[in-house]
Amino acid sequence: MMSTQEFQLILLQPPERLDENGGSALETQLARLMPQKQSLWVIDLAQVDFMDSAGLVSLVSGLKSARQIGCRLVLCNVQASVRLVLELTQLDSVFEIFDSYDEVLTTVNSPALIR
């Protein structure tokens, strides 16, 4: 799992599976973040082709943590199988989902994205 931080933008790129192990690793990484308020957390799911309930829990707890701190968490590059899980659980209406990381970056300067 890679993480980079620049200009209050934090990028997380989980591996192929957001299951018990992958979800736990993502939660640990999110817990270790020391963000400033107004940071943007981007979870790039380009490599994730499987997600179960443990993966969902990690995403939801990350979103809750971000909101408590005053940060924003968005998802991008969501694969079809993962999008289906989000749609079935109706979490696609809870998360902000972008088609690509580039789309997130082009929107980053928008006042609507960074609150």
Question: Do 58 and 66 contact (CB within 8 A), yes or no?
Answer: no
> Chain centroid to CA 82: how far?
12
Whole-angstrom distance, CA of residue 74 vs CA of residue 36: 16
pLDDT in tens, 20-55: 999 999 999 988 887 777 789 999 999 999 999 999
pTM of the predicted structure, to 2 decimals: 0.86
pLDDT digits (tens, 9 = 90+) for 58-90: 999 999 999 998 899 999 999 999 999 999 999
